A = this chain, B = another copy of it.
Amino acid sequence: MEAEDQSSKLKGTYAVIKAWVLDLYELELERICKIVEIVRARRVLVQMPDGLKRYAINIMKFLQDRLPHVLLMFSSSKSYGSCDIAFDEAMALNADLIVHLGHTPRRYEGPIPVIYIPCYSKVRPLKSLEELSDRLKDFKIIGLSSVVQHENLLSEVREALEREGFKVIIGNDPRLPPGVVVGCDYTQALSIDSIVEAHLIIAGGLFHAIGLLMLSKRPVFLLDPYRDVIVDVEKEYRRLLSIKLSVMCKALEAKTFGIIVCLKSGQFSLSRALEAKRLLEEKGYEALIIVMRDVDPALLEGFSGIDVFINTCCPRLSFDDLEAFRRPLITLYDLQFILRKELDKYVPRIR
**A interface list, Cβ under 8 A from B:** 45, 50, 53-58, 60-61, 71-78, 88-89, 91-93, 256, 258, 260-261, 263, 268, 270, 274, 286, 288-293, 296, 299-300, 302-306
Bound complex: CA A291 to CA B48 (Å): 12
- Cβ contact within 8 Å between A302 and B54: yes
Bound complex: CA A75 to CA B306 (Å): 15
In the complex, the chain B residue whose C-beta lies closest to that of A295 is B76
Bound complex: CA A300 to CA B258 (Å): 30
Residues of chain B within 8 A (CB-CB) of A76 are 260, 290-292, 296, 299-300, 302-303
Bound complex: CA A230 to CA B346 (Å): 59
- Cβ contact within 8 Å between B305 and A54: yes
- Cβ contact within 8 Å between A291 and B60: no
Q: Among A58, A73, A274, find the residue whose CB has the most chain B CB atoms closer than 10 A.
A: A73
Q: A304 with B92: in contact, given A73-B261, A73-B289, A74-B288 (CB under 8 Å)? A: no
Minimum distance in angstroms from A290 CB to a CB of chain B: 5
Residues of chain B within 8 A (CB-CB) of A305 are 54-58
- Cβ contact within 8 Å between B57 and A256: yes
Q: A303 with B56: in contact, given A77-B293, A92-B263 (CB under 8 Å)? A: yes
Q: A286 with B57: in contact, given A92-B88, A93-B291, A261-B93 (CB under 8 Å)? A: yes
In the complex, the chain B residue whose C-beta lies closest to that of A256 is B57
A74's partner among B54, B91, B92, B291 (CB-CB below 8 A) is B291
Bound complex: CA A165 to CA B329 (Å): 58
A288's partner among B45, B57, B302 (CB-CB below 8 A) is B57
Bound complex: CA A92 to CA B91 (Å): 12
Minimum distance in angstroms from A61 CB to a CB of chain B: 7
Residues of chain B within 8 A (CB-CB) of A296 are 76
Residues of chain B within 8 A (CB-CB) of A302 are 50, 53-54, 76
Bound complex: CA A291 to CA B270 (Å): 27
- Cβ contact within 8 Å between B53 and A289: no
Residues of chain B within 8 A (CB-CB) of A290 are 56, 73-76
Minimum distance in angstroms from A308 CB to a CB of chain B: 12
Residues of chain B within 8 A (CB-CB) of A274 are 71
- Cβ contact within 8 Å between B292 and A53: no
- Cβ contact within 8 Å between B288 and A56: yes
